[in-house]
Amino acid sequence: MSGEITHIFWSFGLFIVMLFVIGLYCVLMTYNLVRALIGLEILIKGVTLLIIVAGYVSGHIALAQSLVITLIVIEVVVMTVAVGIVFGIRHYNESLDTRAIEKLKG
């Protein structure tokens, strides 16, 4: 791995870690269900960028694109079902606040 390629990978790596920190902080610190999903989306954006950068520096960009397309399909399905569940929770609890969800307690 040449010096320039290493430099590109680790420069991107720094920003990817920052993106992970933002997403993780959002998921952990929020009480709003929609915001938690938005945090999850930011985490997925970080993963997408990581796959693309890894493909770019290793010369396997076609494979990386194929994996990213699969990732996007999975992301959409997960988000659609998650939004449906959030919708159901809002319908029963009249709120998107996680502290108001008490009907799951056994």
Partner 1 sequence: MTLNIFILLALIAAALWTVMTRSLLRSALGLALTSIILTILMFQLDSPLAAVFELSVCAGLISVLFISTISLSLPLSEQEWMKHMRERMARFWFLPLLLILVAVVLSFMNIKPTIHLPAPDKIQDVRFVMWHLRRFDSMGQIIILLAGVFGVVILFKEKIKK
Q: How far apart are CA 89 and CA 32, in angstroms?
A: 12
Q: Which is nearer to partner 1, 52 or 105 (CB)?
A: 52
Q: How far apart are CA 100 and CA 31, in angstroms?
A: 9
Q: Which of 36, 47, 62, 100 binds partner 1 (CB under 8 A)?
A: 62
Radius of gyration of the chain (CA): 18
Cβ 81 to partner 1 shortest distance, Å: 4
Residue 100 engages partner 1 in binding (rule: CB under 8 A): no
Q: How many C-beta atoms lie closer than 10 Å to residue 8's C-beta? A: 14
Query: Could you tell me how many residues of this chain bind partner 1 (CB under 8 A)?
Result: 69
Q: How far apart are CA 89 and CA 4, in angstroms?
A: 50
32, amino acid identity: N
Structure tokens at 90: 């809002």
Residue 19 engages partner 1 in binding (rule: CB under 8 A): yes
Q: Which of 36, 47, 50, 55 binds partner 1 (CB under 8 A)?
A: 55
Q: Which residues bind partner 1 (CB under 8 A)?
A: 1, 6-12, 14-15, 17-19, 21-23, 25-26, 29-30, 32, 34-35, 37-39, 41-42, 45, 48-49, 52-53, 55-70, 72-81, 83-88, 90, 94-96
